[in-house]
Amino acid sequence: MPVMVVVLCCLAIAYRYYSAFLAAKVAALDDNRITPASRLNDGQNYHPTNKWVLFGHHFAAISGAGPLIGPVLAIQYGFAPGLVWLVIGVCLAGAVQDMLVLTASVRRDGKSIAEIARHELGYPAAIIASVAILFIVIIALAGLGFVVVKALGGEEVKLPPGMTVTLPDGAERPLPQPKPGERDFYTLPPGCTVRYSDKSAASNRPEAFTVSVPAGTPLFAQGDIPKALDEAERLADRGGGTTVIAPVRTATLPAGCTQVVPGSSWGTFTIACTIPIALLVGLWMYRIRPGQVVEASLIGGFLTLAAVVAGNWVPGSPLERYFSLTRDQTIVTLGVYGFIAAVLPVWLLLGPRDYLSSFLKIGTVALLVVSVCVANPALQAPPVNEVFLNGGPTFPGQIFPFVFICIMCGSISGFHSLVSSGTTPKMIEKESHIRTIGYGAMLIEGLVGVVALIAAAALPSELYYAINVPIDQERRYQKQLDEVYDRYGVKLPPEANDPAHAANVDAPAHLDLGKVEEKVGGESLRGRTGGAVTLAVGMSVVFEQAFRWLGVTGEWLLKYWYHFAIMFEALFILTTIDAGTRIARFLFQETAGRVYTPFGRPDWLPGAALASAVVTGGWCWLVHTGSIMTIWPMFGIANQLLAVMALALVTTWLVNHGRGRYAWVTIAPMLFVCSTTLTAGVKVVLIESGKDTTVGYLNAGLTVFVITCVATLLFWSAARWLTVWLGWGKPDGTPNPHGAA
């Protein structure tokens, strides 16, 4: 609670004073200027929009996976580094970038930062910026999409070959559940004992789980005793002196086995419902009852909440098979939705859906803030985790510079510059709205990052790593994990194992994986890497603890909050994917328009459809072939390099328009982000190229390409600044006729 109060005070002071300085002195916002939304109103992309509706759209578009997942993954380094970076970064870097890019775009007819580069630096710079941004945004969308797939889609977690599973006493051997021509599935009961290798210690799996094996491979073969079989399986007949072999209760897994985790039908159903609800709200505000924003908001808010509640009844019903999607089905569905949202008019689906989503997003974040203050959970994670300072299971690489790459969107995100120069500037009604929308929305995203960090840090270390360590990697990290548990784990007295002395066993500090899986309705949580499941568990524990303080208790509570959190995360990220795909479509059309003029028109349907198809196909392919360990670092580096590019271009815009004396507000964060990102980029290239795989070389090549483009544009911008500051050129961009003199 004290952490939350201090953070809220810092954000309030930054908005009250620093954003006012930026608005009055640096950007010089003026409502007398006619915005492009009014001057170029076409009812399609340019459309004057109510300030708070646009705030909702902008916040929904910029707030994706970053502020939710990054802080959760960074907990392996401890909570203090991420907390400090979130607060300082959002106030002095992220919100500054968003607000000034939005201002520059509004002054340039709502054009993208690539077009801003053309106006400020010339055509060659625009081409470099366009190509780099297009690559970066596809990588960013892949990172966002991957988290949605992890939260909603079913997945198969790899199991190490040679792993042994011993059934508990009294349990019957499971029978295979075959699928013709595919694989056999075995559902193992709670209480199984597993060994991940011959050299690892046995551990208990308190949850039931399903194992997928190659078709025709028996998991338990009668009379076939594996070498790792416990001696208790050999029963001696004392009377006759003979040895009787008991039925085999231990299985050794062959290569190619996986643990099957079903998709979230509740979350998928609720998110699917928001699409027709958004269409209704858009039609209500602009066609049925034009201008009636309050009416549309009430209708949309009520229907969205009703969809959340109704989703509770989908699991176990006949509808479940339609909404419980596999990983590949989720990727295809996500791609189809992104394509449709990018092509339809912005007022019909994208704007109202993001506005509706913002109700749920901001409402849930506010509820989390209040719940943290009420529950006041202890931070179980250490301030600095010395065991994983050089990298660990959730994120590879040392604490510097990778903590700044792991946590990006909550502090500063280059992806935001695409929204601030994409859909939002085309809908700004008055310039004074830029301060609230540009700076204010970013502060709320920083707050999202802080509450996500607190929710994850409140989980016991044993529970956090049980979820975040891949099952097939447990042996690799076991020694370090034992050290973490010894240093930072919950220390219970010996008598705590005696049920007669058990007290406060449901406290968050005492929760283990088995208890949590039981409380959330039998969900399998072990090895669910990626951060989405960890955050859902952390949020649900904080909510349950806060409501318990208010007198609301029950076993159903944690289950409800867990599924609500999964749905919330997916909805949070999905609104960024649809806006991001639309922005990438604009970028593609702008670039292709230089070759074939009709492509440059945003309202030309064939061009819009082709550009949207190329973009969605690109990021869907990356999601299909990647993993969180490959996509997230590459996403972080590409995202931060885009922030460096955006800050460099905004600095050039300030210098060219005679406001170079304020360039320090963008140069300082640009230099810091540039130093951390380039250092991380070099390390990631070495890691990826060392894998000696096609995907590894592709990831390394993309990273090198983006670094080269951004470095070129950065030097180009710096040359322009020096040209003006040394008096060799005028601030408006024309050459000085008197030369150096």
- Residues 344, 345, 349, 351: what is their CA dihedral angle, to the nearest 10 degrees? 140
pLDDT single digits (tens) 14-44:
999 999 999 999 999 999 999 999 998 887 7
Asked whether the predicted pLDDT for residue 736 surpasses 60, the reply is: no
DSSP state, residue 342: H
Contact 420, 438 (CB under 8 A): yes
Question: What pLDDT is stored for residue 692 in this prediction?
Answer: 66
Contact 607, 592 (CB under 8 A): yes
Question: What pLDDT is stored for residue 685 in this prediction?
Answer: 81
DSSP state, residue 86: H
Least confident of 229-243, 364-378, 630-644, 708-722: 229-243
User: 3-state class of 646 per DSSP?
Assistant: helix
Residue length of the chain? 741
pLDDT single digits (tens) 144-154:
788 778 777 77
DSSP state, residue 409: T
Cis peptide before 2 (omega within 30 of 0): no
Sheet holding 155-158, edge to edge: 155-158, 258-261, 209-214, 183-188, 177-178
Cis peptide before 401 (omega within 30 of 0): yes
**Residue 137, H or E segment:** helix 123-152
Beta bridge partner(s), residue 183: 214
Sheet holding 192-195, edge to edge: 203-205, 192-195, 164-166, 250-252
Residue of higher predicted confidence among 72 and 630? 72
The most confident of 137-146, 156-165, 650-659, by mean pLDDT = 650-659
| Gyration radius (Cα) of the chain, Å | 27
- % of the chain residues with pLDDT over 70: 86
Residue with tokens 């366009």: 130
Q: Rounded to the nearest 5°, which phi and psi values hold at 199?
A: -95, -10
Contact 567, 308 (CB under 8 A): yes
The mean pLDDT of 105-113, rounded to a whole number, is 89
- φ/ψ region of 391 (left if φ > 0, alpha if ψ in -120 to 50, else beta) reads left
Least confident of 301-310, 411-420, 613-622: 301-310
pLDDT single digits (tens) 179-226:
656 788 888 888 888 887 776 677 777 777 888 888 877 877 544 444
The most confident of 125-134, 296-305, 327-336, 640-649, by mean pLDDT = 640-649
Q: How many helices (H) and strands (E) does the chain have?
A: 27, 11
**Cβ of 133: how many Cβ atoms within 10 Å?**
31
Query: What tokens were used for 156?
Result: 């198969």
How far does Cα 382 stand from its chain's mean position? 23
